């Protein structure tokens, strides 16, 4: 069991992008963290792909998802710079991301977004097909958005770098499965299946993806798993493309001789092993991105990896204090989010869906600010938009339709 409880002491369950980001941000503020994961190291769940994509995704109406993703993108780059400056083992390549238009209509929308948003040239611009071909060094079919500051990220290396940044303050408990959590005498306890206490602390953070729902106090969180399979393609160093290219999917540059192409998106599909049919789907996407690239590849020969994205119904993450669902009287007049009863010391950072690489650094910072009551890094409307209590607001479930359509890219 961990050492004596102090006020600035937290348990984090889950050592993926969510848990490692929260741990890093609290440890930076002088907190001691008990980090628990049933895997034998960080970044082995959804956060264990070889590489994923870092880029914002603007929208014409600059909606909440677009604003959160832009803020996350900017925050992530600053965080990556800080980790790199501190010689932490983050692996990422700021190669730029070319997000090709799906068709002519989409190209027009992309151009309208750029015209409406007036982004700085080094943030985003629209490139015509010829320039897209030059950037990709491939005869791509259309023009599209060019994000010069985007790139690929090895997410497990980001988890490791987060933890190494404050190694002295973060106590890892790997190969430990939390079967039960409870609160006694002001302390949360994480226990294994034998009932033994793995750690106890006044604050507990659920960063264990969809498994958070297994704990009765968090069973009301509407988390679902979206299975995603990435295909690993052989790729010689220096071969084209040397940037990330997206078009209803993505392909990365060759990293250590492997290009990642993907990804599939299947709700509530629990198959953990890669499937040939999913490789075929990824090869079809690859051909849409880079015409002809897939012609010499056979699905049968490909390796790959499967991960399960923790997804929320409105596609926004869940960051903040867990509501006390049992204390909400269904017959009482509706109360605003700020007045929703919360479970003392219990927080969640979850529901990153297909955007964990882009959101995690900002999410960790927001959670640390909420816990320590520091000024928040986001505007109130975005803080409310990601509040995990939002799902218990009366009438909301009727309003939010469960959109199960695949996201663009990851
Ligand atoms: C195929 C695929 C492609 C993607 N591409 C991109 C992309 O291009 N760009 C992007 O931004 N994002 C991408 N993502 C999304 C991103 O990877 C996820 O949003 C992110 O990894 C989720 O992180 P997490 O920490 O919430 O979950 P996880 O990484 O799954 O971490 C949860 C951890 O909790 C642990 N755990 C669970 N239950 C328990 C328990 N009871 N006790 C102890 N430990 C427990 C697990 O072992 C696991 O390590 C992609 C995801 C997938 C699957």
Query: For residue 248, what are its two tokens?
Result: 């209803």
Whether the pLDDT of residue 333 is over 80: the answer is no
Return the percentage of the chain with pLDDT > 90, whole number: 87
Residue 229 phi/psi, 5-degree rounding, is -110, 130
Within the chain, which residue ranges are assigned CATH 3.30.9.10?
Answer: 94-148+224-308
Q: What is the pLDDT of residues 227-238, one digit of tens each?
A: 999 999 999 888
Architecture of the domain delimited by 9-46+157-223+313-399: 3-Layer(bba) Sandwich (3.50)
Please give the helix or strand (H or E) that residue 280 lies within, else none: helix 276-289
Query: Using a 6 Å CB cutoff, which residues line ligand 1?
Result: 13-19, 36-39, 44-47, 49, 52-53, 155, 177-178, 207-209, 211, 228, 230, 262-263, 307, 309-310, 350, 352-358, 409-410
Q: What is the pTM of this model?
A: 0.94
By most ligand atoms within 8 Å of CB, the mutation choice from 13, 209, 223 for ligand 1 is 209
Residue spans in the chain of domains classed CATH 3.50.50.60 = 9-46+157-223+313-399
Give the atom of ligand 1 at the shortest distance from the alpha carbon of 36: 43
pLDDT tens digits, 148-170: 999 999 999 999 999 999 999 99
Residue 350 pLDDT > 90 = yes
From the CA of 359, how far away is ligand 1's center (Å)? 12
The preferred substitution site among 309, 317, 408 for testing ligand 1, maximizing ligand atoms within 8 Å of CB, is 309
Cα of 138 vs its chain's centroid, Å: 29
CA of 194 relative to ligand 1 center, distance in Å? 26
Q: Separation of 278 CA from ligand 1 center, angstroms? A: 19
Cα(125) to centroid(ligand 1), Å: 31
Beta strand ranges found along 109-256 (DSSP E): 125-127, 144-147, 151-153, 170-174, 180-184, 187-191, 197-201, 203-206, 224-234, 244-246, 250-251
Distance CA 269, CA 253 (A): 28
Q: Which atom of ligand 1 is nearest to the CA of 263?
A: 1
Mean pLDDT for 169-173 is: 98
Instruction: Give the number of other CB atoms < 10 A from CB of residue 130.
Output: 10
Which pLDDT score is estimated for 216?
Answer: 97
pLDDT at 395: 62
210 CA distance to ligand 1 middle (Å): 9
- The domain made up of 94-148+224-308 is a member of CATH 3.40.190.10: no
Checking if the pLDDT of 2 tops 70, the result is no
Q: How far is the CA of 357 from the centre of ligand 1 (A)?
A: 9
Spatial distance between the Cα atoms of 311 and 318, rounded to a whole number of angstroms: 10
**Ligand 1 site-directed mutation target among 155, 230, 251, 409, most atoms within 8 Å of CB:** 155
For helices 356-372 and 155-165, angle between their N-to-C axes, nearest 10 degrees: 30
Sort residue 303 into left (φ over 0), alpha (ψ -120 to 50) or beta. Answer: beta
């Amino acid at each position: 069991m961990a050492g004596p409880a102090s006020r600035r002491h937290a348990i984090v369950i889950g050592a993926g992008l969510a848990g490692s980001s929260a741990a890093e941000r609290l440890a930076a503020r002088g907190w001691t963290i008990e980090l628990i994961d049933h895997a034998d190291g960080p970044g082995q769940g959804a956060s264990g792909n070889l590489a994923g994509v870092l880029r914002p995704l603007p929208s014409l109406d600059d909606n909440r998802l677009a604003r959160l993703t832009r803020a996350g993108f900017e925050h992530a780059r600053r965080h990556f710079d800080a980790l790199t400056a501190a010689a932490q083992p983050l692996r990422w390549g700021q190669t730029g991301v070319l997000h090709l238009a799906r068709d002519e209509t989409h190209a027009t929308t992309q151009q309208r977004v750029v015209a409406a948003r007036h982004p700085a040239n080094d943030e985003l611009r629209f490139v015509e097909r010829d320039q897209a071909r030059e950037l990709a060094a491939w005869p791509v079919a259309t023009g599209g958005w060019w994000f010069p500051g985007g790139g690929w990220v090895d997410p497990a290396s980001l988890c490791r770098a987060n933890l190494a940044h404050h190694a002295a303050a973060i106590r890892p408990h790997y190969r430990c499965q939390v079967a039960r959590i409870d609160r006694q005498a002001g302390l949360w306890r994480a226990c294994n299946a034998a009932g033994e206490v793995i750690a106890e602390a006044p604050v507990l953070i659920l960063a264990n993806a969809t498994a958070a729902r297994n704990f009765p106090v968090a069973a009301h969180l509407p988390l679902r798993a979206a299975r995603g399979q990435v295909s690993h393609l052989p790729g010689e160093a220096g071969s084209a493309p040397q940037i990330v290219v997206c078009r209803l999917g993505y392909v990365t540059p060759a990293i250590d001789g492997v290009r990642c192409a993907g990804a599939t998106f299947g709700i509530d599909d629990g198959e953990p092993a890669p499937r040939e049919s999913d490789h075929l789907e990824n090869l079809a996407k690859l051909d849409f991105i880079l015409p002809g690239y897939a012609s010499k590849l056979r699905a049968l020969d490909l390796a790959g990896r499967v991960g399960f994205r923790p997804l929320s119904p409105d596609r926004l993450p869940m960051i903040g204090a867990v509501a006390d669902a049992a204390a909400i009287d269904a017959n009482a007049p509706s109360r605003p989010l700020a007045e929703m009863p919360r479970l003392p010391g219990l927080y969640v950072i979850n529901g990153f869906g297909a955007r964990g690489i882009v959101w995690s650094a900002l999410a960790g910072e927001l959670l640390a600010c909420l816990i320590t009551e520091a000024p928040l890094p986001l505007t109130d409307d975005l803080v409310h938009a990601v509040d995990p209590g939002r799902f218990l607001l009366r009438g909301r479930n009727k309003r939010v339709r469960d959109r199960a359509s695949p996201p663009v890219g990851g």
